[in-house]
Structure 1
Amino acid sequence: MRGESSAQSGAIVFETGVEFAVWSHHAAQIELCLFEDDGNREFARLPMARDSNHVHRLFVDGLKQGARYGYRADGIYAPDNGLWYDPSKLLIDPYAKEIDRPFRYDPRLGIYGEDSQDLMPKAIVTADTRAEIRKPLFKPGGFIYEVAVRPFTILHPDVPEAERGTIAALAHPSVIAHLKRIGVDAVELMPITAWIDERHLPPLGLTNGWGYNPVAFMALDPRLAPGGMTELRQTVAALHGEGIAVILDLVFNHTGESDRYGTTLSLRGLDNLHYYRHAQNMPGELVNDTGTGNTLACDHPEVRRLIIDSLRHFVLNAGVDGFRFDLAPVLGRTATGFERDGGTLAAILADTVLADRMMIAEPWDIGPGGYQLGNFPSSFLEWNDRLRDDLRCYWRGDDWKTGALATALAGSSDIFSRNDGKGTRSVNFLAAHDGFTLTDLVSYAGKHNDANGEHNRDGHNENHSWNNGVEGETVYPSIRKRRRDDVMALLSTLFATRGSVMLTAGDEGGRSQHGNNNAYCQDNEITWLDWKGLNEDLVAHTAFVAGLRRRFTVFSDTGFLSGNGDVEWISLSGEPMTVSDWEMPSLSTLGMLLSTGDRSARGRQTRLAVLFNRSGDRQFFTLPSGTEPAWRQLTPDAAKKPGDRVTLEPRSVAFFVEK
């Protein structure tokens, strides 16, 4: 007997069977394919009925949770007209919540008439299990820790071998202890949904280790989550129990089906014309605003529904605290360009399940008008690459960067005051997964991506980096010390900025990718975190500056520093900076005097001085004071009482609190 009909898509489990529903406007016929439990032998191929909304439905009596399935779509095959119907291709349900094996690239996945049944994962009928939904733990102003799941724990000595490189490993006590030591407020997991390698990688013997090439938006990749959604839900709960939020980095800008020479795995075979964006009046030409060969048509109602339902899925069934959106302008794109209040962005913020979740945009893509930093809705945080570049250039020694440093420290009001913005929405970072690591930033003047098999043509050419005298690894103690000091100064600067801060896993301990600034295809020792090789001095320093950020309220506030009693910029003499000071092109020092609450003293108001010295020489600062010495220097070991005339070591940042 048929259960109650559902408006949902995907496989919906009822007591008496399972209903399947998938949307396609142009398909002439869609068939449901059912497989044995091992996913290898097809035992049924059943035609589905189209309703008035172009949803193809079928109820299968007696079918239960755990059944393996896929779809085949028949219709016109005319790629020049945007139609890719090929019934020889087994297709993954866009609403699949679990798959039985990872995707593996094979050229036959893109050849018309080649049956792909044996090459494709099978979707697994899965019933939802609700997570405990709690108010998001992360708040703007906190510390985000970007994690690539597999590289993060694949070499961790304390994690059981069977769990290394999986989502479950993030809940291991040793891993959590490290996160808590360095003061992490939220882990941001790089893509964990099912992805496929780009077609040029297998011939090179390489694999995509980052996951930014998705096929299924809800199904977790079995390589990272062999325990499926249960594994993610339990890991989120364990991290929540330690006060650490979980943010998922999701990709809704393209899929791994790539350009017209790519594969037919899911959306292309179901309705290429509607799921992807095409050039105006040229239905056979895919728009490539992403640099990956295709671009999702996020303004199409069915794509929008798929995105919203995917986000709801991870909140309701895993309890995650928020999302980071890769190449987020695509979410706001229409045929005429980016719209800040576009339908999909507005729908995300209006959804009752999603309304209180943290949303973070990577605010650029490569399409026309694709750089949208500062232009997202007011409840979105945004990755701030302008701050990244300005801080790098300041510490590299570029001229005319003192003002840019102060602007970044104060919340980047030049960017985020647009659209009547009242405070910063900046996610401040110096290094991320894409680009140099923090240590490579001060060790390499240029990229070294030869291992990627593209003759060093891939990756950014301008990294605003420097090598301290020798390119790459060195045995010279003096250069190694200079690099360590530079990383400490960079960390101190990052954690002294107003806004949220982000650090990529391992950068707190000096990890290196040997100059590779595009290591997405290096699922090996280049990206795997060497826990035994972490630099303890750098880890301790990260914990120290993160502790200062938690101690002083000024850093978690998100209003712009204005100079009206909240901040004063001072020179070496302790006097306010003058116009001529600001206009000095090679000025190497700056003092930031902050009014702040001190949580270690029950919120009592005090002053905090943050002093910057990018020169190669010691500098002597005079701090404003009364009739007696009033300042103590804060260090990882203890607070020192140096008086009012203080010494800044070369290439350093120092913190002083008023007694």
Structure 2
Amino acid sequence: MKYKISHGTPHRLGAFYDGEGTNFAVFSANASQIDLCLFSDDGTKEIDRISMPERTGPVWHGYLHGLQPGTLYGYRAHGIYAPEQGHRFNSNKLLLDPYTREIFGKWTPSATLFGYQKGASGGDLTFGAADSAACVPKSVVSDPALNDFLQTEAPVMDGRDLIYEAHAKGLTKLHPDVPESLRGTYEGLASDAMIDHLLSINVRAVELMPVHHFLDDEFLLDKNLVNYWGYNSIGFFALEPRYLGPDGIVGFRAMVQKLKAAGIQVYLDVVFNHTAEGDQNGPTICFRGLDNATYYRLIAGQPRYYVNDTGCGNTVNVSHPYVLRMVLDSLRYWVLCMGVDGFRFDLATTVAREDYGFDLYGGFLDAIRQDPILSTVRLIAEPWDIGPGGYRLGGFPPEFSEWNDSYRDTTRRYWKGDPQTTPDLASRLLGSADKFDRAGRRAWSSVNFISAHDGFTLADITRYNNRHNDANGESNMDGHGANYSDNCGTEGDTKDPVILARRKRRQRNFLATLFLSQGSPMLLAGDEIANSQKGNNNAYCQDNEIGWVDWANADNDLMEFVRYLSSFRREHKALRQDRFLHGAKRQQDDLRDVEWTDFGGFSLKWRDPSLSSFCLTLRCSAEAPSYEKDNDVVFIIFNRSNVAASVVLPSCPDGFRWVRALDTAQQTQHPSLETQQDSTEISGSSVVALILEADTANT
């Protein structure tokens, strides 16, 4: 043995160098022995195998004197192989350290990765004796500097500022102004060209699709495809290496710091609901081999099989104390050591579910809310999964915002022309108070979006009635079936100027609706330039021009419109309020904070099934305390009809006049004085917003 070994400590899981040696600690409640395997610098040869010398409770640990950062290693876990009892120990399989900060090498598709004899008649009940080490990346004893805490504060952002959802590679891969060496990398996200673009549309937070180390699904590799989106995590502390730039992990941290210095927060989309090991037929590469019965939820009475609340084969058992600890340790690492400012939890219902179901006061939600670090960052839930009682929109604690798919679907259906959608749209415009206004929650609880990574892009909502996912190799059966899209007259590309104009108007209507709504607006990267995925509404496996943002064909007029919209929203407090609006009268002027009227200026008849066009007057909340009193007023007109109309304007206070500040019938925006102060003319299929301006000419 090259290194002197001592017991070490169980208190910090993972591998940590202290200047003289490295302490290793790994959790397994059911293993009978854990071996630490050390590898040559190129990862091809196992040069030492050491049984962990000590076990404290469920943590196996040991200290190797003199072992330096950069050392490659893995674990082998001994124990019974009895799938029918929930145990799948197989010491022939090299396992990643769940806490490794860095991963060296690539996965090689191989039957040796499986704990059973793949192809044998007994399936996963058989035992695979082949060694998998040659096909498995190695964990790395990381540089201690990567574990140093960053002493920087998040830039100021409130919950109502614009969030920008982006893929780490797809956003920059085709951008001509990003340095070629940085395109498609984490570092490219913080290039001057990208920061300038983000600031030009007033982005205040970038929400990155998964950056945790993930595995390409075998069925995709068989079709020469990859898991581009990355919702298939296997390392919750390690970056996905394929997007590393010239400076590696240090470059990722520098990217976060550079974005923050520009006033842009960074959120990570994290996948703690399942892992890349899949169901009972999946590989044994980490958690399954270390302690299958603890890391995963198994079906009661049939522990050979996995609870599948995620649709991805398995479900992580976050209700177990040590699995919960791993999740929290991971989150704190990304905040304290990498500087990120928040998280979006994929299939968050799964993470918040106990054995008996979703629990608002369960372990995960209790732990994260009381954590002195995590309770201070932005928390966003995707509030659904396919498990029992899995749809929980509006059901998360007040500290969380939630992706609002009801906003997405209602807005699409309204502009598509579906009947009886107007009352529902009215609720969505005011932050979905019907779903979120409880327990002191704020309007920013609703993350409003028209499109996200999962589904049609904004441009494709107006180009396709049907999904076109043939490139995914699943006979066009994958992806959403209910897209509530409208191709405006023909499917796909066209040169018809009438249809093209209709599509552009529809996109502006969608965007205006988003930016004029209360809550937290979220924009999918590329929607500001009308990026298309050619009708693919499930581009999870398209690491190519389908999945990358097409900057060469950018609609620059639309981009200018988004810039104007986002600035207009930031300038008007009435559009971005903290409190829900319920039409209460304000003390300062006895006017209601929200009013709904028809084009004649009369109160709306909500029960009218033909109701499709309406007006909305927004004032600052009647509930706002005296120090937040504000006289900002925005009058918004939604005209879904294709016919132009005359609209009666609200009474204008003395010394003020109405100014048209937004009109989706126009590609460019120039605020203009209304020639008649009692009414205004609007085009068909448009959104118009007017504001009050001091009438200096008559004062």
**Same structural fold, with TM-score higher than 0.5 when normalized by the shorter chain:** yes
Letter in 2 for 1:174: A
CA contact (8 A) 1:409 1:498 kept: yes
Matched, 1:503 2:523: yes
Q: Hey, what's the Cα distance between the residues in 2 that align with 1:213 and 1:188?
A: 18
Letter in 2 for 1:649: S
Structure 2 alignment gaps of length 5 or more:
117-127, 585-591, 622-627, 663-667, 694-699
1:554 is displaced (CA, Å) by: 2.1
Indicate the residue corresponding to 1:75 in structure 2: 79
**Residues 1:52 and 1:6: Cα distance change in structure 2 (over 3 Å):** closer
| 618-627 vs 338-347, which moves further | 618-627
Q: Deviations over 1:533-585 (max 9, x none)?
A: 110111111111111110011233221111122111121112332xxx32222
1:420 is displaced (CA, Å) by: 5.8
Does the residue aligned with 2:304 lie in a helix, a strand or coil? Answer: strand
Indicate the residue corresponding to 2:29 in structure 1: 25
Indicate the residue corresponding to 1:399 in structure 2: 419
Q: Hey, what's the Cα distance between the residues in 1 that align with 2:475 and 2:75?
A: 40
Q: Hey, what's the Cα distance between the residues in 2 that align with 1:394 and 1:465?
A: 10
Q: Hey, what's the Cα distance between the residues in 2 that align with 1:596 and 1:496?
A: 14
Q: Please, which of 391, 403, 409 is the counterpart of residue 389 of structure 1?
A: 409
Does the residue aligned with 2:272 lie in a helix, a strand or coil? Answer: coil
Matched, 1:122 2:154: no
**Residues 1:104 and 1:533: Cα distance change in structure 2 (over 3 Å):** farther
Indicate the residue corresponding to 2:396 in structure 1: 376
Q: Hey, what's the Cα distance between the residues in 2 that align with 1:108 and 1:496?
A: 55
Aligned pairs for 1:285-324 (under 5 A) are 285-324=305-344
Indicate the residue corresponding to 1:654 in structure 2: 688
Matched, 1:622 2:622: no
Q: Hey, what's the Cα distance between the residues in 1 that align with 2:108 and 2:346?
A: 23
Aligned pairs for 1:375-524 (under 5 A) are 375-419=395-439, 421=441, 423=443, 425-524=445-544
1:350 is displaced (CA, Å) by: 1.0
Matched, 1:232 2:252: yes
Q: Deviations over 1:15-43 (max 9, x none)?
A: 21001110101111111111122222221
Q: Hey, what's the Cα distance between the residues in 2 that align with 1:630 and 1:516?
A: 47
CA contact (8 A) 1:375 1:418 kept: no
Letter in 1 for 2:278: S
Q: Hey, what's the Cα distance between the residues in 1 that align with 2:16 and 2:685?
A: 60
Q: Please, which of 202, 208, 226 is the counterpart of residue 227 of structure 2?
A: 208
**Residues 1:308 and 1:142: Cα distance change in structure 2 (over 3 Å):** same
Q: Hey, what's the Cα distance between the residues in 2 that align with 1:66 and 1:242?
A: 33
Q: Percent identity?
A: 44
Indicate the residue corresponding to 2:105 in structure 1: 101
**Residues 1:438 and 1:120: Cα distance change in structure 2 (over 3 Å):** same
Q: Deviations over 1:491-526 (max 9, x none)?
A: 000111111011110011111111111110011110
Indicate the residue corresponding to 2:589 in structure 1: none
Matched, 1:586 2:610: yes
Letter in 1 for 2:45: R
Q: Please, which of 623, 633, 636 is the counterpart of residue 610 of structure 1?
A: 636
Matched, 1:638 2:665: no
Q: Hey, what's the Cα distance between the residues in 1 that align with 2:22 and 2:514?
A: 52
Q: Hey, what's the Cα distance between the residues in 2 that align with 1:79 and 1:228?
A: 39
CA contact (8 A) 1:103 1:120 kept: yes
Structure 1 alignment gaps of length 5 or more:
none
Once superposed, what is the RMSD of the aligned Cα atoms? Answer: 1.8
**Residues 1:104 and 1:512: Cα distance change in structure 2 (over 3 Å):** farther
Does the residue aligned with 1:218 lie in a helix, a strand or coil? Answer: strand
1:418 is displaced (CA, Å) by: 4.0
1:245 is displaced (CA, Å) by: 0.5
1:101 is displaced (CA, Å) by: 2.9
Q: Hey, what's the Cα distance between the residues in 1 that align with 2:233 and 2:129?
A: 24
CA contact (8 A) 1:192 1:220 kept: yes
The number of aligned residues is 652
Q: Hey, what's the Cα distance between the residues in 2 that align with 1:379 and 1:399?
A: 35
Q: Please, which of 116, 128, 139 is the counterpart of residue 158 of structure 2?
A: 139
Letter in 1 for 2:566: A
Q: Please, which of 51, 55, 61 is the counterpart of residue 51 of structure 1?
A: 55
**Residues 1:315 and 1:628: Cα distance change in structure 2 (over 3 Å):** closer
| 299-308 vs 408-417, which moves further | 408-417
Matched, 1:64 2:71: no
Scaled by the length of structure 1, the TM-score of the pair is 0.96
Q: Hey, what's the Cα distance between the residues in 2 that align with 1:136 and 1:345?
A: 25
1:108 is displaced (CA, Å) by: 3.1
Does the residue aligned with 1:150 lie in a helix, a strand or coil? Answer: coil
Indicate the residue corresponding to 1:551 in structure 2: 571
Matched, 1:15 2:19: yes
Letter in 2 for 1:122: K
CA contact (8 A) 2:256 2:339 kept: yes
Does the residue aligned with 1:492 lie in a helix, a strand or coil? Answer: helix
Indicate the residue corresponding to 1:191 in structure 2: 210
Q: Hey, what's the Cα distance between the residues in 1 that align with 2:488 and 2:52?
A: 65
Q: Hey, what's the Cα distance between the residues in 1 that align with 2:7 and 2:92?
A: 31
Indicate the residue corresponding to 2:357 in structure 1: 337
| 136-145 vs 192-201, which moves further | 136-145
Aligned pairs for 1:220-259 (under 5 A) are 220-226=239-245, 227-259=247-279
Does the residue aligned with 1:391 lie in a helix, a strand or coil? Answer: helix
Letter in 2 for 1:639: P
1:228 is displaced (CA, Å) by: 4.0
Q: Hey, what's the Cα distance between the residues in 2 that align with 1:237 and 1:132?
A: 11
Does the residue aligned with 2:319 lie in a helix, a strand or coil? Answer: coil
1:8 is displaced (CA, Å) by: 0.4
Does the residue aligned with 1:318 lie in a helix, a strand or coil? Answer: coil
Q: Deviations over 1:376-430 (max 9, x none)?
A: 1110000001111111111111111111111111111110124564645100011
Q: Hey, what's the Cα distance between the residues in 2 that align with 1:71 and 1:456?
A: 41
Q: Hey, what's the Cα distance between the residues in 1 that align with 2:97 and 2:345?
A: 22
Scaled by the length of structure 2, the TM-score of the pair is 0.91
Q: Hey, what's the Cα distance between the residues in 2 that align with 1:424 and 1:563?
A: 18
